[in-house]
Chains A and B, each alone.
Chain A
């Protein structure tokens, strides 16, 4: 299966610790997205990359959050000084976007569930 993969699947950390998540998109996909999902809500957009360029960041993404996609392949999402409110499922998705066409669907990974104690 060559779908989107995320690592780890689960992470339990203590408040104040830093955590880093990894996402490996579908290999030929040039766009990569990060979303956050809490119970009873849909995914909330955090940020996205076109190849290695980070094109947009949500205002939800405080300065404790940083994301990178250094070689335009895998991406990492780091949360510094975690807070209990950061507990959520963090989803990664990827897409293949050709030219300026925007009607592409996203392919999601299984998510990383973060619990901050």
Chain B
């Protein structure tokens, strides 16, 4: 079975500071990993993904994420936070070895960036 944990319900950072939103996963094989962002009254939007290759992946709006196989983590990062980054962030995993259709999502982390 595949699972995702986002250990922090809330992350608060000051504008201009670096931000990290944490995600750990559990799958039986090599994972496909994703980050999505949800703004109020809007659907989830894809940010970035890790499939294979370089452990550091870059995505939309200046976000990046680092895949760490030994720690089974896929933390989302941004060097300098903006107030407009305030939103709900979801990590998701898909195990290509067992079920290539189903994605499992974490419960989300609310990021608040204060001016």
Q: Is B101 interfacial (CB 8 A cutoff)?
A: yes
Contact partner, B44, options A40, A41, A44, A108, Cβ 8 Å: A108
* Chain A residues touching B, range: 20 to 34
Contact partner, B108, options A41, A91, A102, A107, Cβ 8 Å: A41
Contact partner, A105, options B49, B90, B108, Cβ 8 Å: B49
Q: Is A85 interfacial (CB 8 A cutoff)?
A: no
Please indicate the chain A residues that have their CB under 8 angstroms from the CB of B49 in the complex.
Answer: 103, 105
Q: Which of B94, B104, B105 has the most CB of A within 10 A?
A: B105
User: Which A residues contact B (CB, under 8 angstroms)?
Assistant: 3-4, 31, 33, 35, 40-45, 48, 50, 55-56, 58, 91, 93, 100, 102-103, 105-111
User: Which B residues contact A (CB, under 8 angstroms)?
Assistant: 4, 32, 34, 36, 41-46, 49, 51-52, 90, 92, 94, 96, 99-108
